[in-house]
Structure 1
Amino acid sequence: MIYEADQEIKQKVSKYFTAMEDTTILSCLQGHMGKAWVNNKENPEAAQIMVGDFTFFAGNSAAEGVEDLLKNVPEHILAIVDNDEWKMRIEEVHKGNAERIQRHAFRKEHKDLDPTYLRKLTANLPVGYELRKIDKSIVSMPSLFKVSPDFIKQFDSIADFLERGIGFAILFDEKVVSAAASYSIYDEGIEIEIVTDDNHRNKGLATCVAAALIVNCLERGQYPSWDAANLKSAKLATKLGYVSIGSYDTYHIHTPSSHLVHK
């Protein structure tokens, strides 16, 4: 049996996640979005955090209830842990349904990001394209979600995104063809999501829209965190100024059906 954690319990288990620098974890621990579960309410030894497409496990991988935590996932999820013991448990519990892939991490230091340089990148927009901050009119466009259904998905509503989130979009023929926005938020900043329509790639749109978002975050005193799903995203991050700290294991867990078992 596992239990959903309230804010008090989240504080108890936050120590288990200190070695994991993913800001999505902070989104949950700080109470902005996502959910957490523990193996025991009174004395939690292991914990799970889930925000959007990501879930994180930490604590004692051998504790009672860990198998239930590991089964507490939807059909498709990306699972991240920070040691070999947890990796072994994932591979045991999800044998045949857990694919190990690589993501790419970058250090989180303001000094790596040069606003002057980034503003120059926002000026390199091809003729016919328009860069705009995501507002009520753009967030209501179906074309935004055609580019990616995940935009604003972690927020409670459009109104919630407009109040707590941030994003920029590039329009062509009055339709969104590229956008960069806050996938998640935490006290000190955001985690960036960026997607470009397949028909408009290789034109520098991702560079332009990402630079605009990063500059805006820096001007607001927020840190725009970047974590890359692939080498192309990693290459773009480096172009924007981020400094790589290497790749890390991630598990794509794909179960036949939902295993959610929490109480």
Structure 2
Amino acid sequence: MELEGIDEMIELSKENHAHVLPLLKNLAYEPVFAYSVIERNQSGKVFVDHNENPTCSLIINSYGQYLLVKSGDNEYFMSEVVDFLLNDQNHSKYYDLYASTPELLFQISESLAGKTVLLHRSSFTFDLSKFQHLKKPNALQEQFVMKQMDKALFDKYKNEMDASYDSLWSSSQQFADRGFGYCLVMDDDFASVCNSYFVGGGYADIDIVTVDEYQNKGLATLTGVAFIEHCLNHNLVPNYNCDAGNERSIQLAKKLGFVKKYDFPMLWWHQDQRIISDYLKRFNYSNHSSE
């Protein structure tokens, strides 16, 4: 991703990404995508106001997830962030902007009015005891086979179901090395898939997709369970968040042993206004601009 209008901010070398970790403490949610950049599990950039002891940072995951964090006031840095966000050339197709506090997000939203829309996300904490006591669906019908995602399955999934995984993981090898997932297949076709969106900070973000014709059969629960068991066997904490208006996803989270913790705001820009409009209608947003 080529960045324009951001040359006044300091880009940390990959070896110094950890300098921003103190700014990520005590957030109300886990910014796993930011940790994935810091730990170099997934590609991205880290911009700061000072090399050694930064007080402000913009962490950019190449997938389009941005995190703005700060512990002090730096108006110049903030103005540079605004300039960067307002320049469409800096973004592939969209960005999701998260901030360390709602106050910081609303502060920057004033400069992005008319450019972004305000969304709300629900974050969850994983409750091991609830997971251990969940009622798993009935045994799989014979035609379904559970498989761990390998490089070939990853490429098949990227090509057939979600092309955005091309920017999420730079290659099938990187996914095999740093990510993981499980899928239920029927006759070599995907029925339900649970992949890691981001891995970092000791967490793994969950992404579950079930093909329409196989929904309401408990398949998402089964792939989710396989994913969570993998996390538990590899010292990772499963992490779940979704749009606050996505009731089906919220119910699935609870079914898998997650407890809703917090709703937090974010700003979303997309180059295609129709996609924004459809999303806002789908999840019952009445507000179509940033506040």
TM-score normalised to structure 2 length = 0.76
Match of 1:113 among 122, 128, 131: 131
Distance 1:146 1:171 in 2: 13
Q: CA deviation at 1:109?
A: 5.2
1:156 is the counterpart of 2:170: yes
Q: CA deviation at 1:15?
A: 1.7
Determine helix, strand or coil for the equivalent of 2:235.
coil
1:213 is the counterpart of 2:242: no
Deviations 1:23-80 (A, max 9, x none): 2222223332232112343553310112223111011464312122242451411111
Determine helix, strand or coil for the equivalent of 1:243.
strand
- Please say if residues 61 and 89 of structure 1, whose CA atoms lie closer than 8 Å, have aligned partners that are also in contact: no
1:56 is the counterpart of 2:67: yes
Distance 1:233 1:107 in 2: 14
Letter in 2 for 1:138: L
Task: State the Cα RMSD in Å.
Answer: 2.6
Distance 1:207 1:201 in 2: 11
Match of 1:184 among 182, 193, 198: 198
Match of 1:68 among 75, 80, 84: 80
Letter in 2 for 1:13: V
**1:45 alignment partner in structure 2:** 55
**1:260 alignment partner in structure 2:** none
**1:99 alignment partner in structure 2:** 117
**1:18 alignment partner in structure 2:** 25
**1:28 alignment partner in structure 2:** 37
TM-score normalised to structure 1 length = 0.83
Q: Give the % identical residues.
A: 22
Match of 1:6 among 7, 13, 22: 13
**1:172 alignment partner in structure 2:** 186
Gaps of at least 5 residues in structure 1 are 257-263
Change (3 A) 1:84 1:240: closer
Gaps of at least 5 residues in structure 2 are 1-7, 273-291
Q: How many residues are treated as equivalent by the alignment?
A: 252
Match of 2:145 among 109, 121, 130: 130
Distance 1:212 1:249 in 2: 30
